[in-house]
Structure 1
Amino acid sequence: MDFLQIIILALIQGITEFLPISSSGHLVLPAQLLDWQDQGNAFDVAVHVGTLLAVCIYFWSDIKALWLGWTASLIKKQPSHEATLSWCIIWATLPALLFGGVLSLLGWDEKLRSTLVIATTTIVFGLLLWQSELKGKKTRELTEMTIYLALLIGFAQALALIPGTSRSGITITIALFLGFNRSAAARFSFLLSIPVILAAGTLKILQLVAAAEPVAWDVLIYGAVIAGVSAFLCIHWFLGFINRIGLLPFVIYRLLLGIVLFCLYFAVEF
């Protein structure tokens, strides 16, 4: 990988990981347009570590409060909003882990990574995001999150294992349908990403170790740093942006991206 390829792929991962526009949909484009080879598992691990560090640093005070609340609920049986939210995140993570394990065992995770699938899901779930923006009441705060509501969002998150869905997009969509305001929906989506990205990154590391591939450490470090910095800035920008502008720009962008991907697919196939 040359340095330009490292920068472009790391920026794509860092920016699109937390925006409701599908990172997988964008990672297809460089290979299609520039005829690049697959970047490999090692680079995927590096950029996932970068985005994980970014969200952990940005929400460090929240993570600390959630951890203290959760441990207090276990040891002292002391209820709190932080303890409830921690349990909500834990329960909401389970569907994605179970569904991801099933896909991996059946070998469907790679089969679904096609331009046609990604183009279709990019458009379909983009339209669903638009409906949630129009019909969601946007009155609930994050303090009103319950295990039941979190599980519904968690099952939606499991759908994001289908490439093109967008993990942040589908979780924000369902949270809006459930009545949460944009800020609460986005904040819960970002917090919910931490265990999922950690699990995905750990799985990729195990696959990398098992494959015993040669490692270019300079490439991995550059990728992790670029992805992490861009992800951190993206989170900060997005949380402010959705309260002022809403989600319609992302819906329009997804529809345009889906059309481009369909055009690329048919150009290659026919």
Structure 2
Amino acid sequence: MEWLQVIVLAVVQGFTEFLPVSSSAHLILIPALTPWGDQGLAFDVALHLGSLLAVMVYFRREIVAMLQSSLAALAGRGVDRDARLSLAVALATLPVCVFGLLLHDFIEAHLRSTLVIAAAMIGFGLLLGYADRRGRGRRDEYRLRGRDIAVIGLAQALALIPGTSRSGITMTAALMLGLGREAAARFSFLLSIPVIVLAGGMEIVTLSQQAAPVDWLTLLGGTALAGISAYLCIRLFLAFITRLGMQPFVIYRLILGVWLLWLFYV
């Protein structure tokens, strides 16, 4: 891979992983719209590792508190809000694991097309816009109820469809359930940790069965750039989301979806 391709893919992955615009769609579209070939599974793993490191560094205090409280709860020393948040993240992750295992082959064979991406960009973009305009919630991620966790978890499973956006659909569900914008984003970002770990683990298993040579310099460069981009994205998004709202991302999704339909199907 040439370094321009490494930089573009890493920066795009880093920013789109946490913005409600679908990182998987952008990584599918870049090879389709440029002369570059597919970046390969090893590089995808490296990019996701960078995103994972970024979110874990940003939320390091919350993660430590959640782990400590979870261990305390298991030891019978009571359940506090951090332990409940840990349980919420774990339970909301289950649907995407189940549907991901059951539908992985079908999705790879039938849904990784520009038509599906364009339709998901437009459809779920409009839903995000509706949720953002409708939602006037004040609840935070520590006050999720069982029904909320189930709905957000099932919504996250829809992100298996390319173009949906995992962060976008989970924030949409959270907003419609009455969470504030920042709380919806924070819970979505925390949810990304087990999802990236599990998806990356599956990719590593597949990668271990291949005998292709490894370009470690390219992989490390991609990991670092994706991590830096993702960390900046999280900081900026959480700093401005309350004032900006979701509408700029809705507009971007609609423009990209319509452009893809025009480019490939008109």
Deviations, residues 156-185 of structure 1 (Å, cap 9, x unaligned): 001001100000000000000000000110
Measured in 1, the distance between the counterparts of 2:112 and 2:264 equals: 13
Judge conservation of contact 2:119–2:257 (CA < 8 Å) in 1. Answer: yes
Paired amino acid for 1:51: S
The alpha-carbon deviation at position 261 of structure 1 amounts to 1.5
The percent of aligned pairs where both chains have the same amino acid is: 52
* Correspondence for 1:69: 69
Mapping for residues 50-89 of structure 1, pairs under 5 Å: 50-89=50-89
The alpha-carbon deviation at position 211 of structure 1 amounts to 1.8
The alpha-carbon deviation at position 136 of structure 1 amounts to 1.3
Deviations, residues 73-108 of structure 1 (Å, cap 9, x unaligned): 11124110001111010000000000100112x443
The alpha-carbon deviation at position 218 of structure 1 amounts to 0.9
Measured in 2, the distance between the counterparts of 1:120 and 1:139 equals: 31
Mapping for residues 162-201 of structure 1, pairs under 5 Å: 162-201=161-200
The SS at the match of 2:92 is: helix
Paired amino acid for 2:29: L
Deviations, residues 170-220 of structure 1 (Å, cap 9, x unaligned): 000000000000011000000000000000111111100012222111110
Mapping for residues 131-170 of structure 1, pairs under 5 Å: 131-170=130-169
Measured in 2, the distance between the counterparts of 1:35 and 1:119 equals: 21
Measured in 1, the distance between the counterparts of 2:262 and 2:16 equals: 21
Measured in 2, the distance between the counterparts of 1:75 and 1:230 equals: 39
* Correspondence for 1:43: 43
* Correspondence for 1:23: 23
The alpha-carbon deviation at position 110 of structure 1 amounts to 4.1
* Correspondence for 1:263: 262
Judge conservation of contact 1:32–1:264 (CA < 8 Å) in 2. Answer: no
* Correspondence for 1:214: 213
Measured in 1, the distance between the counterparts of 2:30 and 2:167 equals: 22
Measured in 2, the distance between the counterparts of 1:137 and 1:202 equals: 38
Mapping for residues 93-108 of structure 1, pairs under 5 Å: 93-104=93-104, 106-108=105-107
* Correspondence for 1:253: 252
Gap change, CA 1:110 and 1:39, over 3 Å in 2: farther
Measured in 1, the distance between the counterparts of 2:251 and 2:135 equals: 18
Measured in 1, the distance between the counterparts of 2:107 and 2:121 equals: 19
The SS at the match of 1:212 is: coil
Judge conservation of contact 2:16–2:23 (CA < 8 Å) in 1. Answer: yes
- Structure 2 residue runs of 5 or longer lacking an equivalent are none
Measured in 1, the distance between the counterparts of 2:86 and 2:138 equals: 21
- Structure 1 residue runs of 5 or longer lacking an equivalent are none
The alpha-carbon deviation at position 264 of structure 1 amounts to 2.6
The alpha-carbon deviation at position 147 of structure 1 amounts to 2.9
Judge conservation of contact 2:107–2:160 (CA < 8 Å) in 1. Answer: no
Paired amino acid for 1:4: L
* Correspondence for 1:239: 238
